[in-house]
Amino acid sequence: MLNLHLLILIALISFSIQDKNCLVYFESCKATAITITITNCIYSDIDPDEKVEKCYECKNGYVPSYDRKSCISTGNTIEHCTNYYSAYENQLRCSECDNGYVLSGDHTSCNTVENLIDNCISYESVGNEQIICRECKIDYFRSYDTKSCIGFKNCDDFNREEKDNEYCERCKYGYALSYDGSECKQFENCAKLAKGDSKCSECAYFFHLNTEGICERTLCLTYENNICTRCFEGYYLDGDKNCKKITIENCLESDSKGEKCTKCIYDILPDTNGKCNLPVIKGCVQYGSDGKCTRCESYYNAYELKDGTCQFKECKEGEQKIEYCDKCKAGYFEGKDANNNDICIGYDGSMDTSSSDSSSSRNKVEYALLIFILALLN
């Protein structure tokens, strides 16, 4: 009876740690919260190698020392400097100056700019004290020679790789590039407008252009003569040329009926039944054709590969074990929700939270259920 209880416990725990759309689930080490002892420091942590407290953020008017073991007062050391840092032997250096001032090449002074550049808010001194613009105002972009700021509202990606050929390559979300490329106009799910700027000619990713010039969400990756020829990973193309979700676990591509997998994740070979027999090895991010792990998660160097499995390294003194969901299942990609939490987003636009916070709270409930079930078995 004891062996039966143990097997049930292991099975339930294995289930409880699996997040709904999480494919790679792993553990790591993180330094525990400590009491700050460094004067004027507001965020410190224990250095795992030196095993001493180091400050990474000081109060206003102070900066971390070069060795991060203290906070140094900036005072008014460099006139018109707005942001300091500590160099070798704790010599204060400036990294940013007031508007209208330029940082010297050795970062020891902020000098006035004789010929201000329109719409430039930050300058830089290069070469033989040549003054260039380092940062322009919002909706302005540096020119090829960085000596002027070019205005272009709602542009997300401005190309300035060639002289006299600077242009907006991609507009912000919710905007599309006009037909002549001169402005970004408000237009949903469109990347570029057609002649007349009333219809779309090129859609944003995950969207397809219909006959009316409107972009519709699609699960299709490529088209030929307006007919789908290939779907996004995790979906298959049926006989009617529609994309449908593959229900086979860990399958990227399947036959036209979605019954047999033809391509599994991590190059795992489908079995004779068209299934992806992927072993769940915590911390593994790549498998071989034999199902054994070939590469472990390297975050914080927490795992080491041994005999086809990932062995978790013990946490150092002052650290605690934490858990993460690192990769989403087939048909989902990693993204963020409105609260900046990690989520798995489906190609069809569906969202499922897979953050460590939700996983942690859910696991607490499941562990309580484990204890209750074991008590009933006894």
Query: For position 320, what pLDDT does the model report?
Result: 75
303-345 residue pLDDT tens: 889 999 988 878 877 677 777 666 777 777 777 666 666 677 7
> What was the pLDDT predicted at 356?
40
The rounded distance, in Å, linking the Cα atoms of 315 and 335 is: 29
Q: How far is CA 216 from each of CA 148, 176, 245, 363, rounded to the nearest angstrom?
A: 39, 15, 18, 38
C-alpha distances out from residue 182 to 153, 158, 168, 200, Å: 10, 12, 8, 16
- Assigned domain for 187 exists: no
Is the confidence at residue 291, as pLDDT, over 80?
A: no
CA 94, CA 90: separation in Å to the nearest integer?
13
Q: Which residue has the higher pLDDT, 345 or 360?
A: 345
Within-domain flag for 258: yes
pLDDT of residue 84: 95
Give dist(CA 253, CA 47) in Å, integer: 46
Higher pLDDT, 25 or 244: 244
Tokens of 313: 């390294």
Domain membership flag for residue 272: yes
Tokens of 245: 């979700």
* 3-state SS class at 355: coil
pLDDT of residue 14: 34
Over residues 163-192, mean pLDDT: 93
pLDDT tier, 79 (very low <50, low <70, confident <90, very high otherwise): very high
Is residue 364 over pLDDT 70?
Answer: no
More confident call, 350 vs 359? 350
Q: Answer whether residue 32 is part of any domain.
A: no
Cβ count near 73 (within 10 Å): 13
Per-residue pLDDT band at 20 (split at 50, 70, 90)? low
Highest mean pLDDT among 16-20, 27-31, 69-73, 345-349: 69-73
Backbone angles phi, psi at 5, to 5 degrees: -60, -40
Tokens (6 digits) for 265? 């994740």
Structural domain span for residue 234: 222-278
Alpha helices in 180-333 (DSSP H): none
Check whether 268 has a pLDDT greater than 80. Answer: no
Residue type (1 letter), 358: S
Domain count, the chain: 1
Count Cβ atoms below 10 Å from residue 114 Cβ, excluding itself. Answer: 7
Does a structural domain hold residue 183? no
Q: Residue 282: pLDDT above 90?
A: no
pLDDT surpasses 60 at 179: yes
For residue 239, report the phi and psi dihedrals to the nearest 5 degrees: -65, -25
User: Percent of the chain having pLDDT more than 90?
Assistant: 34
* The predicted structure's pLDDT at residue 255: 92
Confidence of residue 176 (pLDDT cuts 50, 70, 90): very high
Evaluate whether 120 touches 149 at the Cβ level (below 8 Å): yes
Q: Is residue 42 part of a domain?
A: no
CA distances from 66 to 54, 60, 72, 115, 194 (A): 10, 17, 9, 35, 56
Q: In this predicted structure, what is the pLDDT of residue 299? A: 62
The answer to whether residue 128 is domain-embedded is no
Q: Sort 123 into a burial class: Cβ within 10 Å, 0-12 / 13-18 / 19+.
A: buried
Give the distance, in angstroms, between the CA of residue 196 and the centroid of all CA atoms in the same chain.
37
Q: Assess if residue 316 is contained within a domain.
A: no
Radius of gyration of the chain (CA): 28
| pLDDT at residue 373 is higher than 50 | no
